[in-house]
């Protein structure tokens, strides 16, 4: 098995974070992880992100991991993911909270219809 690489928090850049969060699917994954308060694998994330294949979700989790937003750990055949929110918050205070708050407000009102927030 290939080892997972996680950048040191000192090597995480704001540009990498914002690039990773620029995709709505990845933004929803981060929002889902932040509200879950626990580790999640791609399959449990799929419930919130209907219609995406496991390989697509794996791709998005890889981008989040390489950007420094997510730490992934192998446990048996599962790959569990958790946010590095405390580390990122110390490095870039308020950035993630602001981005997630903006996404939550977008999720509440979609095309004039009230929708359930993720």
pLDDT tens-digit map of 77-114: 778 888 999 999 999 999 999 999 998 887 654 444 44
Between 53 and 22, the more confident residue is 22
Between 118 and 70, the more confident residue is 70
Between 96 and 47, the more confident residue is 96
Q: Can you give the pTM of this predicted structure? A: 0.80
Burial pattern 93-105, b for ≥16 Cβ within 10 A else e, equals: eeebeebbeebee
Strand blocks (E) in 1-118: 70-75, 78-83, 109-110, 113-114
pLDDT (average), residues 58-86:
89
Whether the CB-CB separation of 9 and 83 falls below 8 Å is answered with no
In eight-state DSSP terms, residue 9 is G
Strand pairing category for 78-83 and 70-75: antiparallel
pLDDT (average), residues 1-16:
88
**46: pLDDT strictly greater than 80:** no
Pick the CATH number of 12-114 from 3.40.50.150, 3.60.60.10, 1.10.3720.10, 1.10.10.10: 1.10.10.10
**115: pLDDT strictly greater than 70:** no
In eight-state DSSP terms, residue 8 is -
């Amino acid at each position: 098995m290939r080892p997972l690489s996680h950048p040191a928090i000192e090597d995480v850049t704001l540009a990498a974070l914002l690039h990773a969060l620029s995709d709505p699917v990845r933004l929803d994954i981060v929002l889902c992880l932040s509200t879950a308060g626990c580790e999640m694998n791609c399959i449990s994330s799929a419930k919130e992100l209907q219609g995406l294949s496991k390989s697509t979700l794996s791709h998005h989790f890889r981008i989040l991991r390489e950007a420094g937003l997510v730490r992934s750990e192998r446990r048996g055949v599962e790959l569990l993911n958790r946010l590095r929110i405390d580390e990122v918050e110390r490095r870039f205070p308020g950035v993630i909270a602001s981005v997630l708050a903006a996404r939550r407000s977008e999720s509440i009102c979609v095309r004039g219809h009230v929708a359930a927030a993720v």
